[in-house]
Structures are given as C-alpha cells and as structure tokens.
C-alpha cells in the first residue's frame, strides 16, 4: 500500500514538473535558443491571459462610470469571443461526435470559453495527465506534429508553433484587436488617458506581436523579419487609423476626405462580399437542396388544411431524416457563418501590407517555403557574398551541366527565353575570358546586367502565368455559374433562382474585390497622409495620433529598406528551384537526392561542389588567363579550360 502511494506521488510530481523538464530538454537539445523558445511561449500565454483579464476589468469600469455605450459594446465583444472560443473547442476536440453531442459540449464549454486558448496550448504539449483528462472527457486529442522527410527543422518548429498557438491566434482576431480599438476610441472620446486602457492596449499589441512571430515563418532571416514587420505594420496601422477616425477635434479637409474614403470603401467591400455570399447561398440551396426544401414547404402547407393541429408538420419534418438533416445543417452552418463573420471582418480591416508576402513574394506560403528549403544551402551560398557573380555562375553551371545531359536551355518551359539569354551571356563571357580579354570587374558588371535581364524575364513570365490562371479561373467560374442550371435542365423558379444566385455572386465578387483593393491602398496611406497634413496644416495637438502614425511610418521605412533583399532572395530561389526541378524531371535518377543539395547527399554535394568550382573558375580565370594567353597564345589555355570544365561536370553528373 505504501509503495503504491509513493508511486502515485512520484507520478503526480513528474506530471507537475513536466513543463520544467521539457524546458531543460529543449535547452539541452538546442542550447539557449531552446530556452528562449520556451520563454517566448510563457510570455505569450501570460500576455494573452492578462489581456483577457484587463478587457473584463475595463468593461466593468465602463459600467461603473456610466458609459453605457462602451460597456454594452465591450460586453457584446466578450460574448462574441466566448461563442467563438466554444466553437473552436468543438471543432478542435469534438469533430468526431454527432450534432447533438457537439451542441451539448458547446453549451458546457460556453461559460469557460475564455480558457479555451490556454487549454488548446496545454493540450498541444501532450502531457500525460492532460491526455488522460481529455480521454476521460471523451474529447479527441490533437495529432502530434511530425517532422516530414526532407523538411527543414525551422519549418517543422514553426508548424508546431502554429498548431499550439491556434487558440491565441483566434483570440487575437475576435478579442484583442476589437477590444483594444474600442478602448482607444473610448480614451479619445473621454479626452484623457486611462492607465488601465493604456496597459490593456500595450498588452494587446504585445500579444499581437507575438502572433506575428509565429505567423511570419521563413528560413531566410531577412524574409522572416520582413514578414513579421508586415504583420506588425498592419497591427500598428489599425490602431493609428482608429485614432485618426475617432479624434475628437475636427480634422483638416484633406485628412477628413481620406477618412471618409476609408469608411466608404470599407462599407462597399463588406457589402460586396456579403452580396457574393448571399448569391452563393441562394445558388447552392436551389441547386442541391431543392427537393428537401420542397418537402419542407409541403409539410408546412398542411397548416392551411389542419390549422388546429399545429405540431403535425413539425412531427413530419422530425421523422423525415432528409429534411431534418437539411434544417440541422442550415442551423449549424448559419451559426458558423455568423460567428466567423466578425473575425473575418477584423482580418479584412487589418490586413493590408501582409498581402505583399502573401501574394507577391509568397513568403507566407508554407508549400513554397518548403520547396525553397530544399535549395537553402545553395541560396545562402549565393547571397553570402559577391551575389551577382555567384548567381551568374551558378545558373551558367546548371545550364551547362543540363546541356551535357541532353537538356538544352530552350527546353526550360516558360523560362526558356531568360535562360537562353543567360546561357548566351555566359558563353560570351567565357569566350572573352579564354582569350584573356575579361577582368573580374568587367565580368561582375556583365553578370549584374545579365542577372537583371534574367530576373526581369522570369518575373514577367511568372506574373503572366498568375494573371492567366486568374483570368481562366474567373472565366470558368462565370461559365459554371451561368450554365449549370442549363446542364441540369432547371426550369421555372428554380432556374431563375440559380441564375440570380450566380449573377449576384459575380457582381458581389467584382464589387467586393475592387473595393477591397482600393481600401487596402487607402488604408496603407491613411496614417501617413493624416500625419503629413497634421504637421503642415493642423493647429490642434494630437499626441496619440502622432505617436502611432510616427511608429507606423518608421516601420514602413524599415520595410522598404528590407524589400530589395527579400525580393532578391525570392527570385534567386525561384530561378534555381525551377531549373533544378526541370533537370530532375529530365533525368532518370533520384529526383529528391538531386534536389536537396545537402552535405549528407552524394548527388547534392557533387552538384554543389561543381557550382563552387565554377565560381572559383571565373575568379581565377579572369586573373590568370590573360597571362597564359600572353605566354602560350589563345589555343592551349582555351583547350585546357574547356577540357577541365566538361570533365568536371561529367564527373559530377546529377543522377546516381
């Protein structure tokens, strides 16, 4: 008996000190960075929990001070956040249960909804006592994130972060941003700074900044900083915009027009997307659920014949499984749409500059980042030093080795124009070097010019492909929406409803997309325009607006300073990845082994070595070849150079 009690006591102590043990293991495995990772998680959790407590306390202060409008708005935001948290719990842990079980679990979790983000984080640690508790509750446990074959360890750690912080990301969208903006507006309305509001806003910004660290995943440090800064700029921008929109004193005319345009475009974008959603809903229901809704209408029409038996139609609907499931799906889907409408609106109002890494650089695309990690070693070597000549030489070496393996540059898909031009420039420079007519300064200049041409061609080709895909998708969507009712032979009201839904979808998408693009442009420039107008034309003192807008402008300047390096890294990765992929598909060897360029892989090490030797050949050749030509003439040095290069590349063939 005594031994069992001691064993249970030791198990309890082991479970209690499990986070400390994990921190020690992280520090042992990854050094100081592992400890900083654990401390970052601790700070994120503390900031999020403190922010929730401060929001509740400030809502109480609004009620105590008699500011009923702000109190009811804050209370509505807290209730909406509570509903979203309970929905997150059901989707995350009860997805395998039936509808009624999910509804019962939703009602049980609802009073404790504010603790769901913390619960999601603790459950992601897969502590033994937590797993036992989740099994006892009948909840589905989250899957452990595993390192995929060939995946960079940094990307794996970021995926783990995203899965464990998903609750805090939801908290940022549905509570941190709306409550902080409300507190800022209330502070502006009162005309004086409140200590609790300032602390809460600072906690919210800190909490949101920690989410930027999690979301801005990239294996390249400058791209990681750029992604994080884009998210941080949008976070600061929404607060600066709220400060200018809620300023108590009248703004100068230019700033007033900018604020009015911001409001108008936001309303137009929201209305356009709502119209788009309404059209999609009408088309979907009249196309796929026409028969079930016809039965529901037929059941309800029985009330005209039997008005006293009010419950009979509803009993018929309850007994008819198809109609009951349709109504159940409509109720659940409608609730999900209503609860996701608010966080999506917050994201739409907040996200502006984050669209740059999402759409233009695609540096927030996990799939694209996973592809780029395969050539991480080569890209880092090129960007480390003498980037122009190294990129010029690496592309030339790959083209030459591909040509030796029977793949000319003209077969590189849509990039053939750029790569044929690059190969011609490499051959021209090599011929000049063999004649002893090229110096290192001249070859670097020629490399810079040709790299600009190559990247410009590939950039234009890439944008052309994206535009063609977008146009084709829009065309296919329009064709599907306008012709689907004809393919199924719809007639009468059903045909008219499906056609109307498709038309509303297209019109709403067009209005919403255009208005959102203009809104993003106006929203990016609003704090800058208002700050410039204030400094040149305004006579009022606006310290809060100036401070937030000044911080926004500083971050934008730093963002502009980083953008060339990020753009260079992105296009170097795109060019090299497309070339290696094309060569890999042409060869019959192991494509993955040829792709990785890792030291542990023989084929990757050999091709990396050939690229490094090619670069050294340019440096040595420009310095030595002129002396060889002066002593032996043009024939022998050129033969030696050609034989060495072809022999080295053939010995480093890409397949096993």
Domain ranges of the chain: 50-215, 367-464+573-651
> What per-residue confidence (pLDDT) applies to 22?
53
Tell the residue number behind the tokens 């293991």, with chain if given.
25
Please classify residue 160 by burial: count the beta carbons closer than 10 Å to its beta carbon, then call 0-12 exposed, 13-18 middle and 19+ buried.
middle
> What per-residue confidence (pLDDT) applies to 329?
76
Region 216-245 average pLDDT: 84
CA 87 distance to own-chain centroid: 22
> What per-residue confidence (pLDDT) applies to 16?
46
> What per-residue confidence (pLDDT) applies to 496?
80
Higher pLDDT, 201 or 56: 56
Higher pLDDT, 593 or 645: 645
> What per-residue confidence (pLDDT) applies to 612?
83
pLDDT at 239 over 80: yes
CA-CA distance, 37 to 55, in Å (whole number)? 27
What's the pLDDT band for 126 if we cut at 50, 70, 90?
Answer: confident
> What per-residue confidence (pLDDT) applies to 511?
92
pLDDT at 4 over 60: no
Q: Which contacts qualify for 71-76: CB closer than 8 Å, 24 or more apart?
A: 73/182, 74/179, 74/182
Across the chain, mean pLDDT equals 75
**Are the C-beta atoms of residues 167 and 88 closer than 8 Å to each other?**
yes
What's the pLDDT band for 86 if we cut at 50, 70, 90?
Answer: confident
- Other beta carbons within 10 angstroms of residue 7's beta carbon come to 10
- Per DSSP, which regions of 130-270 are E strands? none
Q: Which has the closest alpha carbon to 172: 351, 361, 363, 359?
A: 351
**Are the C-beta atoms of residues 377 and 125 closer than 8 Å to each other?**
no
**Are the C-beta atoms of residues 38 and 21 closer than 8 Å to each other?**
no
Q: Which has the closest alpha carbon to 204: 225, 232, 164?
A: 232
Q: Which residues contact 155 (CB under 8 A, 6 or more apart)?
A: 217, 219, 366, 369, 370, 373
Which of the residue ranges 142-146, 191-195, 512-516, 651-655 would you say has the lowest mean pLDDT?
Answer: 651-655
pLDDT digit string (tens) for 409-440? 555 555 566 777 788 888 888 878 777 777 88
Token pair in block for residue 89? 């719990």
pLDDT digit string (tens) for 543-563? 888 888 998 999 999 999 998
Q: Which residues contact 573 (CB under 8 A, 6 or more apart)?
A: 372, 375, 379
Which of the residue ranges 110-119, 141-150, 157-166 would you say has the lowest mean pLDDT?
Answer: 141-150
pLDDT digit string (tens) for 264-316? 999 999 999 999 888 888 888 887 777 777 777 776 676 666 665 666 666 77
Region 494-515 average pLDDT: 85
Region 97-109 average pLDDT: 80
DSSP 3-state of 181? helix
Higher pLDDT, 285 or 147: 285
| DSSP label at residue 585 | H
Highest mean predicted confidence (pLDDT) among 219-228, 274-283, 403-412? 274-283
pLDDT at 74 over 60: yes
> What per-residue confidence (pLDDT) applies to 598?
44
> What per-residue confidence (pLDDT) applies to 92?
81
Token pair in block for residue 483? 């012709």
Phi, psi of 201 (to 5 degrees): -65, -40
> What per-residue confidence (pLDDT) applies to 42?
78
CA-CA distance, 108 to 482, in Å (whole number)? 45
Phi, psi of 346 (to 5 degrees): -60, -45
What's the pLDDT band for 522 if we cut at 50, 70, 90?
Answer: very high
Query: How many alpha carbons lie under 13 Å from residue 9 in its C-beta half-sphere?
Result: 6
pLDDT at 638 over 70: no
> What per-residue confidence (pLDDT) applies to 264?
94
What is the number of residues in the chain? Answer: 656
CA-CA distance, 610 to 531, in Å (whole number)? 54
Please classify residue 478 by burial: count the beta carbons closer than 10 Å to its beta carbon, then call 0-12 exposed, 13-18 middle and 19+ buried.
middle
pLDDT at 169 over 90: no
CA-CA distance, 99 to 117, in Å (whole number)? 23
């Amino acid at each position: 008996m005594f031994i069992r009690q001691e064993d249970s006591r030791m198990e309890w102590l082991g479970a209690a000190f499990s986070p400390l043990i994990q921190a020690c293991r992280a520090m042992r495995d990854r050094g100081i960075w592992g400890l900083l990772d654990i401390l970052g998680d601790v700070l994120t959790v503390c900031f999020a929990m403190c922010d929730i407590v401060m929001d509740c306390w400030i809502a109480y202060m609004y009620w105590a001070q008699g500011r009923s409008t702000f109190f009811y708005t804050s209370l509505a935001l807290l209730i909406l956040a509570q509903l979203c948290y309970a929905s997150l719990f059901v989707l995350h842990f009860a997805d395998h249960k039936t509808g009624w079980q999910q509804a019962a679990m939703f009602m049980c979790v609802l009073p404790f909804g504010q603790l769901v983000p913390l619960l999601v984080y603790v459950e992601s640690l897969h502590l033994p006592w937590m797993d036992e508790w989740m099994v006892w509750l009948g909840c589905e446990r989250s899957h452990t994130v595993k390192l995929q074959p060939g995946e960079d360890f940094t990307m794996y750690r970021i995926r783990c972060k995203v899965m464990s912080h998903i609750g805090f990301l939801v908290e940022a969208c549905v509570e941190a941003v709306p409550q902080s903006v409300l507190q800022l507006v209330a502070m502006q309305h009162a005309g004086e700074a409140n200590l609790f509001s300032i602390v809460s806003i600072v906690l919210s910004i800190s909490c949101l900044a920690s989410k930027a660290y999690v979301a801005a995943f990239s294996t390249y440090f400058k791209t990681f900083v750029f992604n994080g800064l884009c998210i941080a700029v949008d976070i600061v921008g929404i607060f600066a915009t709220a400060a200018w929109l809620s300023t108590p004193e009248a703004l100068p005319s230019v700033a007033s027009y900018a604020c009015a345009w911001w409001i108008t475009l936001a309303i137009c974008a929201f209305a356009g997307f709502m119209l788009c959603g309404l059209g999609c809903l009408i088309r979907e229901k009249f196309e796929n659920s026409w028969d079930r809704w016809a039965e529901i209408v037929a059941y309800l029409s029985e009330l005209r014949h039997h008005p006293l038996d009010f419950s009979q139609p509803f009993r018929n609907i309850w007994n008819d499984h198809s109609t009951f499931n349709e109504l159940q799906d409509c109720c659940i889907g409608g609730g999900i749409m209503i609860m996701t409408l608010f966080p999506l609106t917050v994201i739409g109002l907040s996200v502006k500059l984050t669209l740059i890494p999402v759409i233009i650089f695609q540096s927030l695309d996990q799939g694209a980042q996973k592809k780029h990690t395969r050539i991480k070693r080569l890209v880092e070597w090129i960007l480390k030093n003498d980037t122009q000549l190294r990129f010029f030489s690496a592309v030339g070496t790959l083209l030459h080795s591909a040509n030796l393996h029977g793949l000319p540059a003209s077969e590189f898909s849509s990039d053939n124009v750029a790569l044929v031009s690059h190969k011609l420039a490499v051959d021209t420079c090599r011929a000049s070097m063999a004649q002893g007519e090229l110096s290192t300064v001249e070859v670097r200049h020629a490399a810079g010019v040709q790299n600009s041409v190559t990247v410009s061609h590939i950039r234009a080709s890439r944008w052309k492909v994206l535009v063609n895909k977008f146009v084709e998708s829009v065309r296919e969507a329009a064709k599907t929406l306008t012709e689907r009712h004809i393919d199924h032979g719809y007639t009468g009201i059903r045909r008219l409803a499906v056609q109307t839904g498709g038309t509303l979808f297209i019109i709403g998408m067009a209005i919403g997309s255009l208005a959102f693009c203009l809104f993003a442009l106006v929203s990016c420039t609003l704090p800058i325009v208002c700050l410039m107008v204030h400094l040149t034309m305004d006579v009022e003192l606006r310290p809060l607006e100036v401070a937030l807008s000044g911080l926004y402008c500083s971050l934008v300047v730093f963002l502009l300073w980083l953008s060339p390096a990020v753009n260079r890294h992105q296009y170097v990765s795109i060019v090299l990845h497309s070339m290696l992929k094309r060569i890999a598909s042409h060869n019959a060897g192991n494509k993955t082994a040829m792709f990785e360029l890792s030291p542990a892989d023989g084929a990757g090490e050999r091709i990396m070595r050939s690229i490094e030797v090619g670069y050294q050949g340019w440096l040595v050749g420009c310095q030595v070849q002129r002396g060889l030509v002066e002593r032996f003439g043009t024939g022998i040095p050129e033969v030696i150079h050609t034989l060495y290069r072809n022999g080295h590349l053939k010995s480093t063939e890409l397949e096993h």
